[in-house]
Amino acid sequence: MAIGGLIGLLDDIAALAKLSAASLDDVSAAAGRATAKAAGVVVDDTAVTPQYLQGVTAERELSIVKQIALGSIRNKLIFILPVALLLNHFLAALLPIILMVGGTYLAFEGAEKVWHKLSGKHDDDKPAVEKGPEAEKEIVSGAIRTDLILSAEIMVIALATVSHQGFWSQMASLVVVAFFITILVYGVVAEV
């Protein structure tokens, strides 16, 4: 009788393992689809980040990229993910509005930089290395602020792709997207 119970237990464990593997496959497939949908914003994020490294010495670049990448992960996991999941559950109609507000902010920021160049007004064109450690902190905080908007866009687009799934699958998929996108964006920037 004991051997029959053991075989039954092993059979249950095997069934649970198959179910877990299927769930992981679903999460990874959903994360892949979500990442593909957010590819346009990912390209923007990758294109924006190198500007923060202008005027920084080569030996400080990787340190700054690392700080920005850690800030990006914090943005995605601590701020954006919980808010997006709660909004998706309770006020899903606000998610497209968030995308429009984020896009408007990014357009304003881009127009402001173009106007700054065209107007000939330059605040301080000294390289960051000559300005000291405070300038480096400003560079990192500015990059993390911009990343917050771009990351929110990425995560909301990714959430729209997986919104048909259950809460835990959505959360798992978005965590995978958060890490994958951050590694992709800041890995490319660090490599260049």
The label of the residue with tokens 């301080």 reads 124
Exposure of 175 by Cβ count < 10 A (0-12 exposed, 13-18 middle, 19+ buried)?
middle
Give the residue from 113, 137, 175, 158 showing the smallest Cα distance to 56. Answer: 137
Mean pLDDT (whole number) for 1-26: 54
Give the residue from 149, 192, 191, 151 showing the smallest Cα distance to 174. Answer: 151
Above pLDDT 90, what percent of the chain? Answer: 14
What's the pLDDT tens digit per position in 54-64?
767 777 788 88
- Rounded to two decimals, the pTM is 0.71
Per-residue tokens: 128: 């960051």
* Separation of alpha carbons 56 and 46, rounded Å: 18
The label of the residue with tokens 């606000």 reads 94
Above 70 in pLDDT, residue 81?
yes
Q: What is the mean pLDDT of the chain?
A: 77
Q: What's the confidence (pLDDT) of residue 109?
A: 80
CA distances from 137 to 49, 85, 108, 147 (A): 15, 31, 23, 15
Query: In one letter, which amino acid is 146?
Result: T
Q: Who wins on pLDDT, 138 or 6?
A: 138
Decide: helix, strand or coil at residue 182: helix
Q: 39-48 vs 167-191: helix axis angle to the nearest 10?
A: 40
Q: Who wins on pLDDT, 83 or 23?
A: 83
What's the pLDDT tens digit per position in 156-173?
888 888 888 889 888 888
Q: What's the confidence (pLDDT) of residue 1?
A: 47
Per-residue tokens: 126: 């000294």
